[in-house]
Structures are given as structure tokens and as C-alpha cells.
Chains A and B, each alone.
Chain A
Amino acid sequence: MENLGQIAMQNINMAAIMPSVVLSCFGMLLLLVSVFSKRGRTTHVAWMSIVALVVTAAVTVSSWNNPQEGFAGSVVLDNFAIFFSMIFIIAALLTILISDGYLRREGYPVGEYYPLILFCTAGAMWMASGTDLMTIFLGLEVLSVSLYVLAGFFRGDVRSNEAGLKYFFLGAFSTGFLLYGVALLYGVTGSTKIAAIAQHVSEMPAVIDNPMMIAGSVLLLIGFLFKVGAVPFHMWTPDVYQGAPTPVTAFMSAGPKAAALAALLRVAIIGLGSIQADISALFWLLAVLTMIAGNFIALSQTNIKRMLAYSSIAHAGYALVGIVAWNQIGLSAILFYMLVYTFMNIGAFAVLVLAGKKGEENLTLEGFAGFGYKRPFLGVAMCIFLFALMGLPPTAGFAGKFFVFAGAVKAGYIWLAVIGVLNSAVSLYYYLRVIVYMYFRDPKEDFAWVKLEIPAVVSILLAIVGVLALGIVPGPVMELAKLAGF
């Protein structure tokens, strides 16, 4: 008992959680800063959070190829975690860049917004780097709770309230299932550590026929699928995405989705590799349903924000295809895809952020009529992002889809790939419709309210660079994604 401290100290390996620690510390610092800031002044908080993210990025990257394990095997900062962490950081960075002006426009210049994003990012990092279900769960909760708050951030706006509440209730509900799954898995394997679960299964192969094991695994995965937004656990997505403040939606659609996928991948591939066949079969179906639901419903949307929400469901479907493939290409492809998706989706939302009036009642297709002529830069940017979302070369969206489907084809899931590409064909329609309104319709409005704020423009430019660079030379990043695979 007396050497308790010593044991604890031995276990600790701060390097393994350095990025999240840095981020959390900055978060706390920023909380203080915002407390002592003049009300309504948040820009400096935004810039500081950007500094925080940049520092974190540097810290994160420095561990590349140098996996750090720590805290008694409850966390590991391996390439996988680093890759995903970078995705979160990029997502957060792009989001913060577009947030400041937006918050002021909508009348909520609250400094706490930024620390919440940072905490959320930190939570995502724990999800990606957690090797213990407990860590992952707590990371998930940090992420979720901050997102509940962020989604309902516009407390005077009913729709934001509603988004927050829906997200909260359904999130908590799904947490129940996730936890029940963890409990069952714990019962079967005696541990909540992913490695231990895997080891237990390999020692007792018979356990894979144990209903508890299967039910536990499935419930656990369902918990993550909820966050990913896969059918039939996707129902919250459109409502929440629509109601939440747009930058939050942008962030939510990229960062947390990637985090959930990260956790899902680590749990599934490392912990539950033994029931791969079952998981692949399940995910095959879910991927198909997700793609179909997302794409088909998006067709009839007139609110662009909501349409992008459905499209994000569809994209989750594409990502799941990579898991079905269950091979190295599929895995790397998911990593790559999430990165690409971060760029293109946040980019698209960034354009929406700039194009919206206060209250964002104008983010409909009709409201976008002639936008491309009046705001050429944003129009072109939106086109690039939409083409990327469609998956057209030479944007990164194409490369991402290509890799994902390549994984599926290599694993022999040709029909899945076919369904996938047909779904992308369906998706063309609603993405094109935005372009139709932007360019093929005569402008009704002058879009005079659209101000090209520098940070948001920087964000859009970064996204464009990301989308095009990853599209034209996907090689290096894909190589990194490959190294990040298990």
C-alpha cells in the first residue's frame, strides 16, 4: 500500500497523453481568459485556441512512429491515434477559424465556446488513443457532453435548444446501450482493456459463441455507430446538424464522427478481430442502409444545411464500407477518407457560415440562387467542395472513395462497391442541385451581407488546398494512413 504512489508513477507515461494534456491545459487556461475578458470580446480567445491547436499538433506529430503506451495500458499514442488526432485538430482548427465572425453575427460571442471545442477535441483524442474501454468511454463522454453544450449553444434559439436536447437524449440513450455492451464484454472477458479482451478470446476461442460476448460486442459497436451516424442510429443527425450552430455542425460532422470511427476501428479490429465475419456481415448491411438512407433522403431536402447533414450520413456509409473490407487498404482508406471528409465537409459548411444571414433562414436552395455570380470566390469554393463530396477527380473526395471501394473490391465485396458507387451516383443529384442554384439560376439577392472574413477565408483556402492536394497527390498521406493502420 505504501508504494502506491510509486506504482502510479511507474504507470504514468505523460508522453502517451501529451497532446490531450496540452489541449486540456490550454482549454482550462482559455476558460480563465474568457472569464476575465470583457464580455463580447472573444477574438483573442479564438486566436489563442488556434495557438493551442498548433502547439498540440506539433506535440502530436512529434510522436510519429514512436508509439507511447501509458497509464497501465489504458492509453497509447500510436500512429493510428496520431493520425486521427491530426484529423481532430484540423477539424477543430478549421472550425475555430470560421466561428468567431459567426458567433458575433448570431449574437453569442461567448469565450467558453473555444475551450469547449478544445475539450471536445481532447475527448476525441482519448477516444482515438484509448486502449481501455473506460478511457474510450470517458473520452466519448467528454466529447459528447461538450457537443451537447455546443449544439445547444444558442440558448435563445429554440432550434439550437432542440438540437442540443435531441442530441443529449439520444446520446445518453445510446450510452446506455454502449455501457450495457461494455458490461457484458467485461463479464465475458473479465477486463475492459481491448488487448485483454482480444487475448482472452484467443485463449478461449469458444467464447465467440457465447451470446454475451456477441451481444456485448454488438451493443458496444452500436454505441459507436450512433456517434458515427449509421442507420438505424442516424436519426438524430439531421435534426441536430440542422439546429446546431453551423460551425458546430461542421465540427460535429467531421471530428466526432472520425473519433467514433477511430474507437470503433480499434475496438473492432484489435479487440473483436475474432468475430470479424459477423462484424463484416453486419456492417455490410448497415453500410448499405446508411448510404441509401443518407443519399435518398438528401434528395428531397431544400435546406442546404440539412441536406449536408444527410450527406454526412451517406459519407458515414462510405466509411463503413472500409470496415467491411477489413483489410489494410480498407482501414487506411477510412483514415484517409475521414481526413478528406474533414476538409471537404467543413469547407462546405464554412461557405454556408459566410453565406448565411442572421438566423440562417436563407440557407435554402432558393436562397442560394445566383450565389456563384455574386460571390465568385465562395461559389468556386463551394463547387470544389461539392465536387469533392460527389467524389469526382481530381478532388480528394475521389481518391478517398476510390481507396475505400478498392478495399472493398480487394476483399471481394464487389456488390458492396457497386451499391456504393450507385449511391454516389444518386448523391450527384442533390450536390449538383446546389450548383444548379448557385450558377444556373439568376441571382435574386445581392448577397451584400456576405463579408469575406479573413479567418473564414483562410479556413476555406486551407480546405481547398487540402481537398485538391489530397486529390492530386494522395500518395504521401495515404502512405501515412497505411503506417497508421494496425
Chain B
Amino acid sequence: MADYLLSLITFFPLMGMMILLFIPRDNEGLLKSFALGVTLVTFLISLPLAFDDVFAVSGGMQYREFHEWISIGSFFKMNYNIGIDGISLWLVMLTTFIMPIATLSTWKAVDKNVKGFMALLLLLETAMLGAFVSLDLFLFYIFWELMLIPMYFMIGIWGGKNRIYAAVKFFIFTAVGSLLMLVAIIYIYYYAASTGAPMEGFGVQEFYRLGIPSAAQHWLFLAFAFSFAIKVPMFPLHTWLPDAHTEAPTAGSVILAAILLKMGTYGYVRFAIPLFPEALQTYLPLLAFLSVFGIIYGSLVAMMQDDVKKLVAYSSVAHLGFVMLGIFALNMQGMAGGIIQMINHGVSTGALFLIVGFIYERRHTRQISEFGGLAHKMPIFATIFLIITFSSIGLPGTNGFVGEFLALVGAFESELRWYAVVATTGVIFAAVYMLWMFQRVMFGKVTNPENEKLKDLSVREIVIMLPLLLFVFWIGIYPNTFLSKMNPAIEQLLNQVKSKQVAVVEPVQPVIAQTLELK
């Protein structure tokens, strides 16, 4: 059983989808319950992973499965090569954890074509899990692209007014990047083959060991980085995000924010950075700059939004800036911070989208100006919203702080110190835009008569939020649960990177940085 656990987890939703297709389309209750059941079972069978102590000990890949998949003589070998380490472990867990929540959130929100939605949801889960567990670039790419399709439909069919533009934009943006990555993937394969290095298909671990020549690394890295940057999204490739988020149905936004965006950051951690350590050195300042710029940018733009969902979407840009900064710090703290921040963002921003969904379901608007004084009418909602808001702001004791802090610690320790200082201003802006939004929505008197009759959260909605709140505090107060298991994996990854960065060229630092340098 354990030998095939990962496959089981990955493909369980797909199997569920197959069965779901045979449920009559009129029986919406059954469809929803079934999808929820499938996602819940997936979560349950993924739980043993989280409790496996092997991750605390070994940084290598666990739960490996290896089968030859496509083997065409001397042309190609693609393998069904999956496994997880302490890094992907948490992303897998995040996925299986968020999916039932997202499913539950559709209960009232999705009323047309429920069957289609549920089927896509399950397909999406398989695709996302597949991408996180793939150790073969080809396999990864397949899952990576497969993710687009369900998401595209989710936005396009169940989305808001401007959904078509958003869906197409989302699709094309993401696909453009990934197509370039495809070329790069092929190139690496042939490069590896030409060196005669021992390789297992497109096995990424074998590629790690490959010393790709610098010149090639540069454009390969750019291809990968571009693709992932779109998905993250990093400034200035982020413009699809607000549109997609705004138009997507709640469950779609939640999944998009909580998991899909992590594909980009995960891609950096798993592929772009360890595969091309030398090229990374060259582009590190640029990428760090973009990350930091994204933080400020996302915050400033979020501040001015009048649509709650758009605001949250732009805040994602800022949050992911921290993730990227942490990752680019290339040290234990930064990397851990980045990964923790990925989970955080999944939890907090996912929760925020759920919250926006709750009020949207009640009022069918997301304009901030339509609200005000909701705290009177919906005290439980207000409390939860408040907690999530502060989690998003990064209040110590909540998850947001741990991630941001670790990322910043890492950045301060690395050469990116000065970027980190600028990034730190992000904590100010986060407070500004989140609290301003919170104030406008929740505080004040109820001015809009339509808000008078608002009902507080139902039991179902509270049940949706509780697990998220649990993790807000769990990660905030005892992140070691997570850190301890990602520690060895990060260490191994960094060793991998550092060992390849032979000739360390110091990135040019501002003069003031040099004076600060200790003698």
C-alpha cells in the first residue's frame, strides 16, 4: 500500500471524477456530497505523509515510485517517476487540505451545471497533486498544463461578468510561459543525453547533477523562470491574476490562490534554482528586484482597489513577493520562509477569498463601497475576518508572520539585504490596505439598507473556516511541525545549489552595503 500511496493520493480524485460522471446531473446534492467525499478521502489518505517522521531525518525523495512510461528506443524515455521530499510534502498536504474546503464552499455558490464543476474540481486536484509529486520534468509538464484546462472552464463558465476575458487571459498567459519551458525541457534532456550522463528519462534529480554549460543555462533558466514567474505571478507578469481572481467563482479563486500560484514558486524551488545555479547567480538581483517591487507594487495597487476580491488578488502579488524573496535568499531560513509563506498564503488568502465569497453570496456585489458596518450584523463573520486579516497582515502569533519573518531573515542574511529592507516596508503597506478594507467593510454604521438583513455565517461556513483558522494559529505558534520536516530537504537542496555555484561572483552591491559589510 505504502508503495503506491502517492499514486493513490494523486489519482484518487481522478477516479472519483470518473465515477462522478455516472451520477445523474440533476442530483446536485449527491454530486456535491460525492465530490466532497472524494476530496475528504484524498485528504485522509494523504495524512500519513504528514505524520511520517522520515522527512525530519532525510532530505531525499520519499515514497518514490518509478515505472517506465514512454520509452521510445534511443529517442526518449519518460518515466512515471514520482516522490516527495519535505518541500513538496507540505504542498501536497496543502492541496489535499484546501480541496475539501473549496468543495464545501461551492455548496451554495455553484448552482448551474454542478456536475461539470465537480468533475473539473476533481480533475484539477489530480493535476495539481501530480505536478507537486512529479520528479520527471516531462510528467511535471503534463500535469502543469493539465491544470490549465479545468481552471479555464471554472473561470469561464462559473465566473463573473468579465469572465471570458479573464479566462482567456489566464490561459494564454500561463500557456505562453510554459511553452517556452517545454523547449527548455527538451533541450536539457538532449544535453543530458549528449553528455552520456546516467539518466532516468527526464528525471529531475539526474538533471541536478548535470553541469549544464553556463551559456546554455542562461536561456534555459530564463525560459523556466519566465514560465514560473507568470504563474507566481511576479511583477510585471501579474496582470492576469486580478482578472482571473475577480472573475473566478469562489472555489476557483481559493484554489487559484491557495494552490495554483504555488506551482510557480514551487517550480523555482524544485526546478529553476537547482537546475541552473550559475545562471541564477546572474539573474538573482533582477529577480530579487522584481520580487521586492512586486511587494510594494501589489500593496500600493491593492490599497486603491474598490473591489474586495481584486484587493485580495493584488495582495497576493505582494505576498508572493515575500515568498520569492525568501527563496532567492538561498539559505535555510529564506527557503523555509518561502515555503512556509506558500502554505500561509494558501491558508490566509484562501480564507480571504472564502470570506469574500460569503458576502458575495449574500449581497452579490464585491464593491467595498456597498458595505460598511457588517460587524454589527455578522459578529462571527467579523471575528473570523479579523483574524484572517491579521494573519494576512502578518501579525506575530499568526502564520503570516512566521513566513514573512523567516523570508526576511533569510534575505537579510544573504546578499539581498538591501532588497530585504525595502521588502520590509511591505509590512506597513499590508496593514494599510488590509485594515482600510476591513474598516470600510466591517466598521462604521450600516448605511446600505440592503445590508440590514444580512445573516451571520451558517454552520457550514463556520466549518469551512475552522480548519483554516486552526492552521493560522498552528503555523503561527508552532511552525516547527512544518519546519522540522522541511529542514533536511531544504538543506539538501541548498547544498545541491551551492556545490554547483563554483565561481561565486559577488553580485554588485550598493556602496553603502559594502560599508556595512563587517570587516
Contacts and interface: CB of A to CB of B under 8 A. Distances in A.
A contacts B: CB pair < 8 Å:
yes
B145 A478 contact: no
Given A422-B176, A473-B70, A428 B171 contact: yes
Contact of B75 (A390, A409, A425, A482): A482
A439 B179 contact: no
A451 interface: no
Interface string B138-156: 0001110110110011001
Contact of A394 (B142, B167, B187): B142
Nearest to B157: A439
Contacts of B70: 473-475, 478
A421 B187 CA distance: 14
A428 B172 contact: yes
A176 B182 CA distance: 41
B73 A436 contact: no
Nearest to A392: B145
B76 interface: yes
Given A392-B148, A475-B69, A478-B72, A432 B182 contact: no
A478 B75 contact: yes
Given A436-B168, A478-B72, A421 B145 contact: no
B168 A475 contact: no
A459 interface: no
A328 B74 CA distance: 10
A436 B187 contact: no
A191 to B, nearest CB: 34
Interface string B172-205: 1001100110110011011000000000000000
B485 to A, nearest CB: 31
Given A436-B164, A475-B71, A402 B156 contact: no
A381 interface: no
A414 interface: yes
B163 interface: yes
Interface in A359-400: 373, 387, 390, 392-394, 398
A440 B163 contact: yes
Interface in B380-428: none
A370 to B, nearest CB: 11
A246 to B, nearest CB: 26
Nearest to A409: B186
A414 B72 contact: no
A417 interface: yes
A170 B74 CA distance: 42
A421 B180 contact: yes
Given A392-B148, A440-B164, A440-B167, A428 B175 contact: yes
Contacts, number: 99
A421 B175 CA distance: 10
A425 B180 CA distance: 10
Contacts of B75: 328-329, 332, 403, 406, 478, 482
A440 B171 CA distance: 14
Contacts of A387: 149
B84 to A, nearest CB: 21
B113 interface: yes
A231 interface: no
A409 B75 CA distance: 12
A410 interface: yes
Q: Say whether chain B's binding surface is mostly helix, strand, loop, or mixed.
A: helix
A303 B111 CA distance: 32
A409 B187 contact: yes
Contacts of B171: 428, 432
B172 A429 contact: yes
Nearest to A380: B116
Nearest to A423: B179
B168 A432 contact: yes
B146 A405 contact: no
B145 A393 contact: yes
Contact of A405 (B167, B176, B182): B182
B156 A409 contact: no
A410 B156 contact: no
Interface string B56-79: 000000000000011111111000
Contacts of B175: 390, 392, 424-425, 428
Given A414-B187, A428-B172, A393 B156 contact: no
Nearest to A475: B70
Contacts of A424: 175, 179
Interface in B228-272: none
B182 A402 contact: yes
Interface in A192-213: none
Contact of B186 (A394, A417, A425, A432): A417
Nearest to B74: A328
A406 B142 CA distance: 15
Contacts of A433: 168
Nearest to A437: B164
A405 B189 CA distance: 12
A455 to B, nearest CB: 24
Contact of B183 (A328, A392, A409, A473): A409
A405 B182 CA distance: 9
B153 A439 contact: yes
B76 to A, nearest CB: 7
Contacts of A432: 152, 167-168, 171-172
Interface in A429-486: 429, 432-433, 435-436, 439-440, 473-475, 478-479, 482
Nearest to B68: A475
Contacts of A392: 145-146, 148-149, 175
A85 B142 CA distance: 30
Contacts of B74: 328
Contacts of B146: 392-394
A479 B183 contact: no
A418 interface: yes
Contacts of A328: 74-75
Nearest to A474: B70
Contact of A435 (B71, B113, B156, B190): B156
A276 B215 CA distance: 28
A398 B183 contact: no
A436 B156 contact: yes
B73 A414 contact: no
Nearest to A419: B183
A410 B190 contact: yes
A429 B168 contact: yes
Contacts of B182: 402, 405, 421
Contact of B156 (A398, A439, A474, A475): A439
A435 B113 CA distance: 16
B128 to A, nearest CB: 14
Nearest to A424: B179
The 4 closest A-B pairs by CB, nearest first: A421-B179, A393-B142, A475-B70, A440-B156
9 contacts: A398-B145, A402-B182, A403-B76, A406-B189, A410-B190, A424-B179, A435-B152, A475-B72, A482-B73
Interface of A: 328-329, 332, 373, 387, 390, 392-394, 398, 402-403, 405-406, 409-410, 414, 417-418, 421-422, 424-425, 428-429, 432-433, 435-436, 439-440, 473-475, 478-479, 482
Given A392-B149, A478-B75, 16 more contacts: A328-B74, A392-B146, A392-B148, A393-B142, A393-B145, A403-B75, A406-B189, A410-B186, A418-B180, A424-B175, A424-B179, A425-B176, A428-B172, A432-B171, A440-B156, A479-B72
